């Protein structure tokens, strides 16, 4: 195991740009390891405020506030990528900013991100950049039916519009409401996966097993790991994610969302330089949670094993469940003995807002998913629709997939660190 040149040891202070649930859970992991946590967020009642020793209340583009945060921290990381470049630079001038300003700058603009991926020969679907409705129409003429995505912001299905014909371009552009956008060809998809990579300052990496993800109306509904997918797909997805993390020189975490087409092509969808919703199951299913792993990586400590100890699944709990006439039932959800309820401490429920998640483990992805599905349907109000499930026959991982995970977890790319000091 390579020792970091300048590890940030327990007892130090870690700064987090962003005070949402990802910052809260990262902070909880940091506290358990003996660190103090400071947070910057525009909301004085942000979710991470409950665990932070100090909250700097300021917009994400406030360079002076970011410098103030950095002045009290030995290292700073982030839980949201939409941080102003001047603020990122202000942190980096005063203390280690991990990940650094440059990879965050590339990732936070979807057009810039897609162009970077294509230029570095990572697999992406056909796309065009757009600055006006005419560009959308030209893209549809060239690519056929497309999805228009705002280049900045927009998440959980926001800032997106489907366009079938050239005549729809103006309406799609208006619906997105952006000054620039990426226009992506609509693909025939079999399913979606993600891969999470951790990387230290010296270049050492660890990769988590792929997660398989299901969305409804653009929002993640549930996720399961290890993904019940063909072994070749899992290997290719992991290699793509490792390559991107290395080429971008990310320090911390990098989540790579990918599409798998009906002809088994693996294509990169989006990148996130932070903890990821699809890996919340790592808290219980893996030897090292993604949140502890982020702390280890940015503090230049030896990385923990990401190997799965069991299959794990999560289901998101959106604010809609609290807006129903009757309240959701934690008691009923926890009558599933394998289920765990994690609420984020948000004071106001809004439609589509992530308020928490349910998780469960099992001997197989199928079992973990069934448990979390059942827990969700017990938790939800009677008037809310049940969770979207899949045909159980599609959830059985091929024997080769789990075999490779188990075999490689002892010393291969899935669990052991990859690379070294450079």
**212 annotated binding-site participant:** no
| Of residues 243 and 417, more confidently modeled | 243
Return d(Cα 3, Cα 18) in angstroms, integer.
29
**332 annotated binding-site participant:** no
**158 annotated binding-site participant:** yes
CATH class of this structure's domain 13-97: alpha beta
pLDDT band for 392, please (50, 70, 90 cuts): low
Q: Are 24 and 51 in contact (CB under 8 A)?
A: yes
Average pLDDT, the chain: 92
**293 annotated binding-site participant:** no
Phi, psi of 322 (to 5 degrees): -90, -10
pLDDT of residue 395: 59
pLDDT of residue 421: 32
**156 annotated binding-site participant:** yes
Q: Is 180 exposed, middle or buried (0-12, 13-18, 19+ CB in 10 A)?
A: middle
What stretch(es) of the chain map to CATH 3.30.1490.20?
126-185
pLDDT of residue 393: 63
pLDDT of residue 418: 43
**353 annotated binding-site participant:** no
- Closest among 85, 24, 82, 96 to 55, alpha carbons compared: 24
pLDDT band for 178, please (50, 70, 90 cuts): confident
Averaged pLDDT for residues 56-82:
98
pTM of the shown model: 0.93
- Pair of tokens at residue 414: 């899935």
pLDDT band for 177, please (50, 70, 90 cuts): confident
Architecture of the domain delimited by 189-408 = 2-Layer Sandwich (3.30)
**110 annotated binding-site participant:** yes
pLDDT of residue 157: 67
User: Residues for the chain: how many in total?
Assistant: 422
Return d(Cα 23, Cα 252) in angstroms, integer.
13
pLDDT band for 411, please (50, 70, 90 cuts): very low
Q: Does the pLDDT value for residue 41 go beyond 90?
A: yes
Q: Does the pLDDT value for residue 409 go beyond 90?
A: no
| Of residues 390 and 198, more confidently modeled | 198
**247 annotated binding-site participant:** no
Q: How far is CA 316 from CA 30, 67, 168, 208, 328, in A?
A: 23, 34, 33, 20, 13
**149 annotated binding-site participant:** yes
Averaged pLDDT for residues 152-175:
87
Averaged pLDDT for residues 97-110:
98
Q: Are 147 and 160 in contact (CB under 8 A)?
A: yes
Q: Which of 66-80, 101-115, 272-286, 380-394 has the lowest mean pLDDT?
A: 380-394
Fold of 126-185: Dna Ligase; domain 1 (3.30.1490)
Q: Does the pLDDT value for residue 155 go beyond 90?
A: no
- Long-range CB pairs of 335-342, under 8 A, 24+ apart, other chains included: 335/378, 336/360, 336/371, 336/374, 336/375, 336/378, 338/362, 338/371, 339/371, 339/372, 339/374, 339/375, 340/284, 341/379, 342/280, 342/283
pLDDT of residue 158: 76
**187 annotated binding-site participant:** yes
Q: Which of 69-83, 336-350, 391-405 has the lowest mean pLDDT?
A: 391-405
Residue 73: CA count within 13 A, CB half-sphere: 36
What stretch(es) of the chain map to CATH 3.40.50.20?
13-97
Q: Does the pLDDT value for residue 221 go beyond 70?
A: yes
Averaged pLDDT for residues 333-345:
97
Q: Does the pLDDT value for residue 352 go beyond 70?
A: yes
What stretch(es) of the chain map to CATH 3.30.470.20?
189-408
Q: Does the pLDDT value for residue 4 go beyond 70?
A: no
Q: What is the radius of gyration, based on Cα positions, of the chain?
A: 21
**407 annotated binding-site participant:** no
| Of residues 156 and 242, more confidently modeled | 242
Q: Does the pLDDT value for residue 398 go beyond 60?
A: no
**215 annotated binding-site participant:** yes
State how far Cα 408 lies from the chain centre.
24
pLDDT of residue 341: 98
**402 annotated binding-site participant:** no
pLDDT of residue 2: 63
């Amino acid at each position: 195991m390579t020792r970091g040149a300048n590890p940030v040891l327990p007892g130090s202070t870690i700064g987090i740009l962003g005070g949402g649930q990802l910052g809260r859970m990262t902070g909880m992991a940091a506290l358990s390891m003996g660190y103090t946590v400071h947070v910057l967020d525009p909301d004085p009642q942000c979710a991470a405020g409950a665990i932070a020793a100090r909250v700097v209340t300021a917009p994400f583009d406030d360079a002076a506030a970011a410098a103030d945060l950095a002045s009290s921290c030995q290292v700073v990381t982030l839980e949201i990528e939409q941080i102003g470049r001047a603020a990122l630079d202000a942190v980096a001038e005063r203390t280690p900013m991990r990940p650094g300003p440059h990879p965050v700058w590339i990732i936070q603009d979807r057009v810039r991100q897609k162009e970077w991926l294509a230029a570095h020969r990572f697999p992406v679907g056909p796309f065009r950049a757009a600055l006006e409705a005419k560009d959308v129409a030209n893209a549809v003429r060239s690519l056929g039916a497309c999805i228009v995505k705002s280049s900045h912001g927009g998440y959980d299905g926001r800032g997106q519009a489907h366009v079938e014909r050239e005549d729809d371009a103006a309406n799609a552009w208006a619906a997105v409401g952006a000054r620039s956008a990426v226009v992506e060809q609509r693909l025939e998809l079999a399913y979606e996966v993600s891969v999470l990579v951790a990387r230290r300052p010296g270049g050492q990496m660890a990769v988590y097993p792929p997660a398989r993800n299901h969305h409804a109306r653009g929002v993640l509904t549930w996720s399961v790991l290890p993904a019940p997918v063909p072994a070749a797909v899992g290997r290719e997805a992991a290699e793509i994610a490792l390559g991107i993390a290395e080429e971008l020189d990310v320090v911390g975490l990098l989540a790579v969302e990918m599409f798998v087409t009906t002809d088994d092509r693996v294509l990169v969808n989006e990148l996130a330089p932070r903890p990821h919703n699809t890996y919340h199951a790592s808290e219980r299913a893996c030897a090292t949670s993604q949140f502890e792993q982020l702390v280890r990586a940015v503090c230049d400590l030896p990385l923990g094993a990401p190997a799965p100890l069991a299959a794990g699944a999560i289901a998101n709990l959106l604010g809609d469940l609290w807006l129903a006439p009757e309240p959701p039932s934690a008691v009923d959800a926890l009558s599933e003995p394998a289920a765990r309820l994690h609420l984020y401490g948000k004071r106001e429920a809004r439609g589509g807002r992530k308020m928490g998640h349910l998780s469960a483990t099992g001997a197989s992805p199928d079992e973990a998913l069934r448990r979390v599905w059942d827990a969700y349907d017990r938790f939800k109000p009677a008037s809310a629709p049940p969770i979207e499930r899949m045909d159980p026959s599609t959830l059985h991982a091929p024997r080769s997939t789990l075999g490779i995970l188990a075999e490689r977890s002892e010393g291969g790319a899935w669990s052991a660190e990859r690379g070294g000091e450079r």
